[in-house]
């Protein structure tokens, strides 16, 4: 009986060694809605008034709304990210910090909005 207990113990050790660690649950940050900013603050950040941004969104909406993977960003947010990136004429660090998205997402969004 002692021998069978040792075999069971070895089987348990092998099972523990072959276990994979639990996957980390992906969490998404919830960003603020830039359209809720005051008109002056909005124009300072994005260089357009809210009315013109909504007109731009209506023009590019068909080409921008495309994503069946991951988190879906609204057309308005994608246009705002693009305007912020193009208006700053810098690397996208500012836009990714402000909106909580990756630089690759910003690059793809700018390409889609263009």
Which structural domain, as residue segments, surrounds residue 36?
Answer: 32-113
**Mean per-residue pLDDT, 89-100:** 63
* pLDDT over 90 percentage in the chain: 13
Return the structure tokens found at 92.
């996208």
Q: What is the CA radius of gyration of the chain?
A: 24
- Count of structural domains within the chain: 1
In a domain, 45, yes or no: yes
pLDDT of residue 87: 79
Q: Is residue 68 part of a domain?
A: yes
In a domain, 11, yes or no: no
Q: Is residue 19 part of a domain?
A: no
First to last CA, the chain: 74
* CA pair distance 63, 25, nearest whole angstrom: 31
113's CB contacts (< 8 A; 6+ apart) are 60, 63, 64, 78, 79, 82
Residue 8 has pLDDT above 70, yes or no: yes
Q: Is 1 contained in some domain?
A: no
**Which pLDDT score is estimated for 40?**
92
Work out the average pLDDT over 58-77. Answer: 77
Flag whether pLDDT at 62 surpasses 80. Answer: yes
Domain contains 39: yes
Asked whether residue 2 is assigned to any structural domain, the reply reads: no
What's the rounded Cα separation, in Å, for the pair 9 and 63?
61
* Predicted confidence band of residue 84 (pLDDT cuts 50, 70, 90): confident
Q: Is 83 within a domain?
A: yes
Contact 98, 29 (CB under 8 A): no
- Res. 71 pLDDT band, cuts 50 70 90: low
Average pLDDT over residues 83-98: 69
């Amino acid at each position: 009986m002692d021998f069978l207990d040792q075999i069971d113990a070895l089987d348990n050790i092998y099972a523990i060694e072959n276990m994979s660690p639990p996957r980390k649950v992906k969490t998404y940050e919830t960003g603020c809605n830039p359209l809720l900013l005051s008109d002056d603050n909005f124009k300072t950040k994005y260089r357009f008034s809210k009315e013109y941004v909504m007109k731009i969104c209506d023009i590019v909406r068909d080409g921008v709304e495309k994503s069946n993977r991951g988190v879906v960003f609204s057309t308005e947010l994608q246009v705002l990210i693009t305007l912020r990136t193009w208006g700053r004429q810098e690397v996208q660090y500012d836009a990714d910090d402000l909106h909580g998205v990756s630089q690759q997402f910003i690059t793809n969004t700018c390409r889609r909005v263009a």
